[in-house]
């Protein structure tokens, strides 16, 4: 009898052990990269479009007359947003390599995408892995937020007029995650998910700026929704300022 | 029970005297309920055949605010005849403005539903009727207090005795009377019924006819997979529970577990009973939580493919429908408005049974 009791005791001790191990989370604390502002540098630059600007495509909102009614003027789908001087807007520029192994604190603020006028605003934006991604429906119609990632988890959420904002996160880096609305075929957006805070979207003048970079050697990638990607290597010395120019060729 | 039998019962044994008086079985003139065009034959449980008396009593009860704790809420407050016997508010308000979590479904044609409530927690109309009376966020009148209140009312005492024979008022009798009234709330003979079952090819608009085809087409709307249309009649429901991807909070978590609360079956999380689409144009807003305001919103919701979640029904997927096709589906649903059942509104000047169909 005593033997049996001991055996039972041992058995239970045995089985409980691995559980204990599982229940104890890793105690390794995340060490965040601290950037010394006295020696940090800047990469800025311009993205150009070299070619004939394709004719603007008018958006057909026939799928939903309620959406069409929200616009007094024609809406255009500017997938290549170049101005007369060839400056290219809406290009996502970010640090692709050079910061591996560094952890960056997450901004407390969410990155927000709004559905307004049956249009995603903004069309192109960046976010850090794990940062809050907020989606708002400001329209009087039912929308549907459907990211189509290849690396992150795919999800699809209906969001009716007046619904509470959605809060999601992308857990893995992925440039870019395409977002669509299943209800309104013309609605498109892209979210660049990166593990660092060094990303930008070119302005109407095609400009970008990556500030407060620790000195180092970096690969900078520029992504354009139709024209693909380009990358350049650059060394940022302490307190250095580097200027880059990317040129995308059209037809 | 006929008066003769009652007399016999009365005379047989003193021990049976009270049980005889306590019978919950309806007496009186059995009412034949004719199903309108498009609906299956009306049925009723053998222990509660609708009678002229129980139906009239049930109608009075249905509209009577006395059935709530503070006399402010009747069944009809959330199942209003002006709103297709449903509630135009997103979720219904009980006494003191307390809000529930679901949109009131229509009582019209509820008689055909194999179970009641969005989560199916009541098997019969009788079982359903007592629920909201005692629910703290609805009428908040515990059953004991409810029968005490009614037993103190001379008029109700008289009406219950006329409907069920001598004896005190019980919840069983009350629930049976309300259920019997609800069994008369059948609405059919809609434009769709006249077109589809009545052979009147002019009854539906061309848009609605196109909508019907899309509704049935498994590669288009695929609506009829759950909102069934039969060869003889069309209930527009399969009476089953489905997770169609409605009811998530900001983080994508279900705010209402639906059928799961009853079955504890993981697959039932977020599943709700398929509502009938009959009279749907009258019963906005839509979905179990009333989140969709218009029929267009509902069609758009289905085009979007709902909200992804582990229990999402396999039939819910993104639909490819043009703007015209979406509008046609709305036109079709607008053709499902049936005729208002007779004698279904609030009873006027006490109780009139003479106008009832026999």
Of A156, A161, A183, Cβ closest to residue B293: A161
Helix (H) or strand (E) holding B106: none
Q: Which residue from A minimizes the CA distance to B308?
A: A156
Cβ neighbours of B331 in A, within 8 Å: none
User: Which DSSP state fits B83?
Assistant: G
Q: Which residue from A minimizes the CA distance to B246?
A: A158
Per-residue pLDDT of chain B (358 residues), as tens digits, is 444 444 333 333 333 334 444 579 999 999 999 999 999 999 999 999 999 999 999 999 999 999 999 999 999 999 999 999 999 999 999 999 999 999 999 999 999 999 999 999 999 999 999 999 999 999 999 999 999 999 999 999 999 999 999 999 999 999 999 999 999 999 999 999 999 999 999 999 999 999 999 999 999 999 999 999 999 999 999 999 999 999 999 888 999 999 999 999 999 999 999 999 999 999 999 999 999 999 999 999 999 999 999 999 999 999 999 999 999 999 999 999 999 999 999 998 544 444 343 3
Q: Are B287 and B86 in contact (CB under 8 A)?
A: no
**pLDDT in the model for residue A250:** 86
Cβ neighbours of A64 in B, within 8 Å: 300, 323, 326
Distance separating alpha carbons of residues A175 and A5, to the nearest angstrom: 59
* Residue A19 pLDDT level (bands cut at 50, 70, 90): very low
- Which superfamily does A41-249 belong to? Cupredoxins -  blue copper proteins (2.60.40.420)
CB contact under 8 A, A143 and B304: yes
Whose tokens are 């015209």? That residue is B324
B30-182 and B191-334 share one CATH topology? yes
List of E strands, chain B? 241-242, 272-273
Average pLDDT over all residues of chain A = 90
Distance separating alpha carbons of residues B83 and B74, to the nearest angstrom: 15
Interface with A, mutate which of B250, B304, B307, B330 (most A CBs under 10 A): B304
10 Å CB burial of residue A104 (0-12, 13-18, 19+) is: middle
- In this complex, how many residue pairs, one in chain A and one in chain B, have their CB atoms less than 8 Å apart? 71
Instruction: Tell me the domain boundaries of chain A.
Output: 41-249
**pLDDT in the model for residue A53:** 84
Distant-in-sequence, close-in-space partners of B100: CB < 8 Å, separation ≥ 6? B91, B92, B93, B94, B135, B137, B138
B146-163 burial, b at 16+ Cβ within 10 Å, e below that, comes to: bbebbeeeeebeebbbbb
Instruction: Tell me the domain boundaries of chain B.
Output: 30-182, 191-334
CB contact under 8 A, A183 and B306: no
Query: What are the CA-CA distances from residue B316 to residues A144, B244, B313, B330 (Å)?
Result: 14, 6, 6, 18
| B82 is an active site residue | no
Assign domain B30-182 to its CATH architecture. Answer: Orthogonal Bundle (1.10)
**pLDDT in the model for residue A52:** 87
Say yes or no to pLDDT of A48 above 70. Answer: yes
Q: Which residue from A minimizes the CA distance to B287?
A: A160
CB contact under 8 A, A156 and B300: no
Distant-in-sequence, close-in-space partners of B101: CB < 8 Å, separation ≥ 6? B91, B255, B256, B289
CB contact under 8 A, B308 and A156: yes
**pLDDT in the model for residue A25:** 55
Marked catalytic residue, from B138, B175, B325, B334: B138
Mean pLDDT of A151-176: 96
Of B252, B292, B318, Cβ closest to residue A182: B318
Say yes or no to pLDDT of A187 above 90. Answer: yes
Whose tokens are 């959420």? That residue is A157
**pLDDT in the model for residue A54:** 85
**How much of chain A, in percent, has pLDDT values that exceed 90?**
83
Cβ neighbours of A186 in B, within 8 Å: none
CB contact under 8 A, B293 and A155: no
Of B251, B307, B322, Cβ closest to residue A167: B251
CB contact under 8 A, B300 and A183: yes
CB contact under 8 A, A142 and B326: no
Q: Are A104 and A33 in contact (CB under 8 A)?
A: yes
Is B191-334 assigned to CATH 1.10.760.10?
yes
**pLDDT in the model for residue A251:** 77
Q: Are B49 and B179 in contact (CB under 8 A)?
A: no
Taking phi over 0 as left and psi of -120 to 50 as alpha, with beta for the rest, B151 belongs to alpha
Say yes or no to pLDDT of A232 above 70. Answer: yes
**pLDDT in the model for residue A196:** 97
Tokens representing residue A230 in the block: 């380009």
Cβ neighbours of A142 in B, within 8 Å: 292, 297, 300-301, 304
């Amino acid at each position: 009898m005593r033997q049996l009791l001991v055996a039972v005791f041992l058995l239970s001790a045995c089985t409980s052990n691995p559980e204990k191990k599982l229940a104890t989370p890793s105690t390794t604390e995340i060490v965040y990269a601290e950037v010394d502002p006295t020696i940090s540098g800047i990469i800025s630059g311009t993205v150009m479009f070299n070619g004939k600007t394709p004719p603007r495509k008018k958006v057909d909102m026939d799928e939903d007359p309620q959406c069409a009614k929200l616009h007094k003027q024609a809406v255009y789908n500017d997938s290549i947003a170049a101005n007369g001087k060839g400056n290219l807007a809406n290009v996502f520029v970010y640090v692709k390599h050079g910061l591996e192994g560094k952890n960056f604190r997450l901004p407390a603020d969410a990155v927000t995408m709004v559905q307004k006028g049956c249009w995603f605003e903004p069309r192109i934006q960046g976010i850090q892995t794990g940062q809050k991604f907020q989606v708002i429906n400001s329209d009087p119609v039912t929308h549907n937020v459907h990211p189509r990632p290849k690396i992150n988890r795919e999800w699809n959420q209906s969001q009716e007029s007046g619904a509470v904002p959605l809060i999601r996160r992308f857990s893995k880096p992925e440039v870019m995650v395409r977002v669509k609305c299943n209800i309104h075929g013309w609605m498109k957006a892209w979210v660049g998910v990166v593990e660092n805070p060094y990303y930008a979207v070119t302005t109407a003048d095609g400009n970008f700026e990556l500030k407060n970079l620790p000195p180092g050697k970096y690969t900078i990638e520029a992504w354009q929704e139709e024209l693909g990607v380009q990358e350049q290597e650059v060394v940022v010395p302490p307190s250095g300022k580097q200027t880059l120019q990317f040129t995308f060729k059209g037809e | 029970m006929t008066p003769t039998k009652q007399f016999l019962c009365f005379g047989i044994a003193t021990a049976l005297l009270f049980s005889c008086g306590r019978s919950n079985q309806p007496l009186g003139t059995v009412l034949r309920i004719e199903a309108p065009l498009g609906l299956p034959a009306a049925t009723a449980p053998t222990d509660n055949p609708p009678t002229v008396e129980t139906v009239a009593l049930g109608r009075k009860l249905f509209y009577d605010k006395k059935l709530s704790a503070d006399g402010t809420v009747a069944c009809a407050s959330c199942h209003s005849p002006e709103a297709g016997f449903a509630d135009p508010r997103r979720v219904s308000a009980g006494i003191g403005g307390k809000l529930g979590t679901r949109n009131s479904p229509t009582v019209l044609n509820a008689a055909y539903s194999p179970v009641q409530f969005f989560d199916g927690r009541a098997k019969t109309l009788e079982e359903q009727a007592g629920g909201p009376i005692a629910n703290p966020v609805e009428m908040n009148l515990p059953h004991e207090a409810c029968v005490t209140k009614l037993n103190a009312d001379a008029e109700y005492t008289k009406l219950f005795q006329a409907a069920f024979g001598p004896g005190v008022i019980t919840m069983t009798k009350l629930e049976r009377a309300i259920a019997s009234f609800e069994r008369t709330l059948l609405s059919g003979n809609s434009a769709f019924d006249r077109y589809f079952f009545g052979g009147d090819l002019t009854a539906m608009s061309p848009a609605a006819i196109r909508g019907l085809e899309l509704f049935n087409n498994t590669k288009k709307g695929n609506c009829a997979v759950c909102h069934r249309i039969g060869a003889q009649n069309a209930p527009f429901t399969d009476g089953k529970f489905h997770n169609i991807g409605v009811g998530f909070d900001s983080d994508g978590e279900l705010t209402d577990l639906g059928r799961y609360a009853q079955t504890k079956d993981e697959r039932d999380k977020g599943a709700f009973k398929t509502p009938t689409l009959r009279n749907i144009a009258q019963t906005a807003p839509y979905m179990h939580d009333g989140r969709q305001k218009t029929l267009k919103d509902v069609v758009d919701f289905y085009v979007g493919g709902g909200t992804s979640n582990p229990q999402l029904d396999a039939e819910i997927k993104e639909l490819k429908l043009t703007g015209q096709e979406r509008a046609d589906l709305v036109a079709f649903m607008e053709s499902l408005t049936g005729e208002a059942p007779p004698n279904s509104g609030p009873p006027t000047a006490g109780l009139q049974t003479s106008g009832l169909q026999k």
